[in-house]
Amino acid sequence: MHISEGILSGPVLVSGIVVAVTGTAIGLKKLDFERIPRAAILSAAFFVASLIHVPIGPSNVHLILNGIVGLILGWGAFPVILVALVLQAVFFQFGGITTLGVNTMIMALPAVCCYYLFGGLVCKGPRIALPAAFACGALSVFLGGIMVGLALIFTEENFLKVSYLVVAAHVPIMIIEGLITVFCVAFLKKVQPDMLRGLGA
């Protein structure tokens, strides 16, 4: 879900930067000191997750983990994903420096959405929490695909086609991420249930 440099037009890049900066500002404000180590570890997980490559589907896809990042950090997902994307751009040449804003928006906005949608549900009993966790992991990837389509709307023109392509390529990822999120939520509920309340509250 990293858009390369040299594809998007100026206005799209600028609006991406505006959204990313706003989200990061809100996220940093809500990220109190006690949550810094948590954020750093999740950032590292996000950074490395891109290397898990799933060789199914027409395009090249990898894990994203934005669902679990959003679930645990809420708005804190913005700074965490931004930092990880900077490192990915520098070390792996995934995405690029000019597209940082857009790419942050593509992956962090669904994370925040999922936090508001499922943050409350995963605190309930396992019969609600576990399906909610699966939906959270899958939906965050799905929304990311829609965001890619939106970002490319001014360059590749056909929003539905691009979104369909990206989402179709990510179906296996959606299932895997759903399962990973279920696993994480089940683990957290046992080990540290208060971590699931995120930062937004």
Burial class (CB in 10 A: 0-12, 13-18, 19+), 124: exposed
- Residue owning tokens 């056909």: 158
Decide if residue 83 touches another protein (CB under 8 A). yes
- Taking the least distance from each CB to another protein, the nearer of 14 and 51 is 51
Under rule CB under 8 A, residue 52 binds another protein = yes
Instruction: Considering the complex, state which of residue 117 and residue 163 has its C-beta at the smaller distance from another protein.
Output: 163
Q: Of 39, 200, 45, 196, whose CA–CA distance to 126 is shortest?
A: 196
CB of 58 to another protein, least distance (A): 9
Which neighbouring-strand residues pair with 62?
53
| Dihedral-angle region of residue 157 (phi above 0 means left; psi in -120 to 50 means alpha; beta otherwise) | left
88 is a contact residue toward another protein (CB under 8 A): yes
| Residue among 12, 73, 100, 169 that touches another protein (CB under 8 A) | 169
Which residues are paired to 119 by β-bridges?
Answer: none
Q: Which residues bind another protein (CB under 8 A)?
A: 1-7, 33, 36-37, 39-45, 47-53, 55, 59-63, 83-84, 87-88, 91-95, 148, 151-152, 156, 162, 165-166, 169, 187-188, 191-192, 195
